[in-house]
Amino acid sequence: MHAHPGQSLVEFALVLPVLLLLTLIAVDFGRVYLGWINLQNMARIGANFAANHPTAWLTPNDTDAITQYQHQMASDAAATNCTLNPVTPPSPTFSDADGDGITTGIGDHATVRLTCSFRVITPIISNIVGGAVSVSASAVFPVKSGITGSSSGGGPSCLPPSPAINANPQSGFAPLTVNFTDASGGGAGDAWAWDFGDLTTSNLRDPGNHVYNTVGTYVVTLSITNACGTFTTNPGTTITVGAATPKLCQVPDFVGSHTKINSAKAEWTAAAGFTTTLQQAAGHSNGNYTITFQSITGGTSVDCGSTMTVNG
């Protein structure tokens, strides 16, 4: 027995809500996962900053350093599209790693813990978790302020740089433009070497905007050289580039409306919004004939870059 067209429509109507729900759930969990990756990078940047400015939170406070730290955390959170909890970035904590009773000495630990809330767009999931998902991340860096050493020639002491990257944003759709600046602490650098993870490099301290045209995941590293040697970010900063959802256009029904070819060409681009040229079947006359065939069914929605062939 053959299924009736009405039966297929009913089955499609029953399955469509389930497919849409599964798609929304995948989008939600994908957003939360990317947010967690970005939150980890934020925590590492904050912990590295605290490791280079361990006394900023001691009395009296170094308000300039604290303001710079809070601005960095708030800016990264805004680019990641998450709401910090609490809204004011929490101060780092310091622990006594060597047992000398001091928590901000060389070798002690600076820890930054961050929590962000990501809004859930899937109705069923939002009913379960309350409309938002809290994601936490933490990072620990050894306190480096005051590290000194002698150059190989017995010359003046040097302070090693502590390479760190400020990348904004760290995820998005291709083509993705990311602004890169040097967020390093420690000793001043004499030379910089950026590797953007896509076979391109830069020797500028702040290379600025870099465009990723291809979907993928890229690990960006920064190496800084001074009298103490060359030091590289470890780990690097991850840039995630996704594929943008294509723009859809509705296909006109040229056959049903008995449209002539010259009118159809104008309607295809001007009215329907397609970015391609309407194609005529091979070997057909270029006269202004009435269309009796089109390769894409009228009324359907397809990528605006699709190509359609017509004939008379």
pLDDT digits (tens, 9 = 90+) for 149-182: 444 444 445 688 899 999 999 999 988 999 999 9
Using a 10 angstrom Cβ sphere, with 0-12 exposed, 13-18 middle and 19 or more buried, the burial of residue 298 is: middle
**Nearest in space to 159 (alpha carbons), one of 188, 130, 183, 139:** 188
How confident is the model over 62-85, as pLDDT tens digits? 788 888 888 888 877 777 667 777
Alpha helices (H) in the chain, listed in sequence order: 5-52, 63-80, 123-129, 261-266
Location of each CATH 2.60.40.10 domain in the chain: 159-245
Question: How far does the chain reach from its first CA to its final CA, in angstroms?
Answer: 36
Q: Give ranges for CATH 3.30.10 in the chain.
A: 248-311
pLDDT, tens only, 91-149: 898 887 777 677 877 778 889 998 887 776 666 666 665 667 778 888 888 887 644 44
| Rounded-to-integer distance, Cα 204 and Cα 201, Å | 9
- C-beta of residue 310 within 8 angstroms of C-beta of residue 264: yes
Q: How confident is the model at residue 12 (pLDDT cuts 50, 70, 90)?
A: low
> How high is the mean pLDDT of the chain?
81
101-104: long-range contacts at Cβ-Cβ below 8 A with a sequence spacing of 24 or more? 104/54, 104/55, 104/58, 104/143, 104/145
- pLDDT higher than 50, residue 267: yes
- Domain range 159-245, its CATH number among 2.60.40.10, 3.40.50.150, 1.10.10.10, 3.40.50.300: 2.60.40.10
Using CA atoms, how far apart are residues 192 and 183, in angstroms rounded to an integer? Answer: 12
CA dist 74 and 91 (Å) reads: 12
Tokens 């359609």 — which residue? 308
Residue 117, both tokens: 């809330």
Q: Would you say domain 248-311 falls under CATH 1.10.260?
A: no
Rounded to whole angstroms, the Cα distance separating 183 from 164 reads 5
171 to 8, 85, 174: CA distances (angstroms): 40, 21, 10
Choose among 169, 166, 135: nearest CA to 33: 135
Report DSSP letters for 160-173, one per residue.
Answer: -EE--EEEE-SEEE
Peptide bond into 86 cis (omega under 30): yes
Confidence of residue 41 (pLDDT cuts 50, 70, 90): confident
Structure tokens belonging to residue 303: 């990528």
Q: Could you tell me where the beta strands, DSSP code E, fall in 245-292?
A: 248-250, 279-280
pTM: 0.41
The confidence band for 25, taking pLDDT boundaries of 50, 70 and 90, is low
